Chain A
């Protein structure tokens, strides 16, 4: 028996090594090609789009890691005896000899197996493994490997020359805390600018919240902002009550027929309360002068009646001071006592001045609520960050609240009152005032089917326009809602219509 030959196990071990090498060779060819293509794209992309260089590098790094992992798996994946024996048989043209030699145990016939193993070893010893079973590395693999290394170096160089980028923003709560802090800083700046005591008071109350912000998680921050929102809404409601806006029209009606108080009535109608206060103050001074007379129209029955109604409405809305001022003015007119009228007007001027402050506070609170809403709904949203109270307050003109200055959570209700000088131009107007197009559909058939089909087609055309209008963010939401409701109302019925 040829004892000098290596044992079958040794040949099987050699076969296992060859199988692993072959796996690596086959895999490396595909990987080199893939990595090469990826690197060409990455290097090109990094040069053309420097902002994408980091992302591309991460992608390349992941691909390298994947390739390395695949190579490691291929190298360490176990090769069974059976697989190794089969490979030997296939490469050396031995018909299932190594397979049988590795599988058969002495129980199958000790001497048979011994002879078989000896014969297998002799055959394998006389064969040249490198000739019969060469491990073929992919063509141009060295060149491909060098190219991959070169491209990797190029990408690294490109990364090295890029300016240091800002640290990647943390998308966690800190970013949101920074956003809220930015908002509060904006309010602080606005408070300094306007010297608004209420805003200062509010900021003082919010100081503990500001201190806690960096420690809060997203949920806590959301709850704190909701609480603040509720508070601001309550303040805004109170300011709205004090602003006399709801009864300004009645007050204007009460004084419009009194000689010299027409501008006051106009200012009241336009909700320009600060201006109205100034005019009321001037009227009071005029009436307080010596020899002043009760202005014409002040003691007419209509004026008295309107004054009484205005006083009643003011009283109902809790504006006792303004109600008392109107009553006193009316009483002075009735008694033909200009000094009493002057006192009433003075008191009215004071009420209006206070209401003007409330009106301003209401507008400011509306903005603050809008900021908060955007902050809550789209933390990190650029739109939310761009809405500045400081800018809005410094831009504010007159006493108008400004179109779009108020975000009402209930968008189903009537559109925002547009009292602003700035915004009236774009949104004012009555139905039918502008250009319009009328199209009449007629049918020769007496039934309703043909016109209905035409109408459906026509509606489909208009529906597209309506959808564009609804999607247009330049229109206030309430207007968009009105457009939607209108087109829903005129939508043709789906079912057949009885003639």
Chain B
């Protein structure tokens, strides 16, 4: 199909730095694959495991919408805007890096590793004032349905970003099926299977596989395991970047 990409988990870029064991869906750091640079405005999807008590030291960001989703454990975040926060599994964190922000991110737990997804989306507006937010989600609101966690609208559910993109988490049980309708004609849908096994349209995804589809109106998500956890990202396919 010309309107689909399917990346199996084992084909991702991988780097193990000891303190950080990371898988890159798209080219990042020393992993460079010209066929896997981005999916529209979605530029980074890193699947990170951070060793106990370690983390990312102070480093800068600018002009990027950065969404962090802890999967296991807790991260302690400190930034140049004066925020010191802990994000736990079940929370969502967003930063609009804009004109520039410095931050650090450490595994809060000294006795066990932490896992989180780090997602970067190109902004639709450059050089904005940096901002930070986090929310706590009710996991019951995503059982056999999609729970919105990111949108372009400050008044909508979840956190918001400077991009016409929507993120959802779903926890779909065996035998259940969901139809997702794409938000905008210009958008594509990118699905990252966090856990379990799912059939997305006619493609079977295993844990950590991804599929991206565009020029479509809807996507069918069907669980083929007892507990399938999925991240759905609805994102513009064309950017100026």
Task: Answer yes or no: do A and B interact.
Answer: no
A residues contacting B by CB (< 8 A) are: none
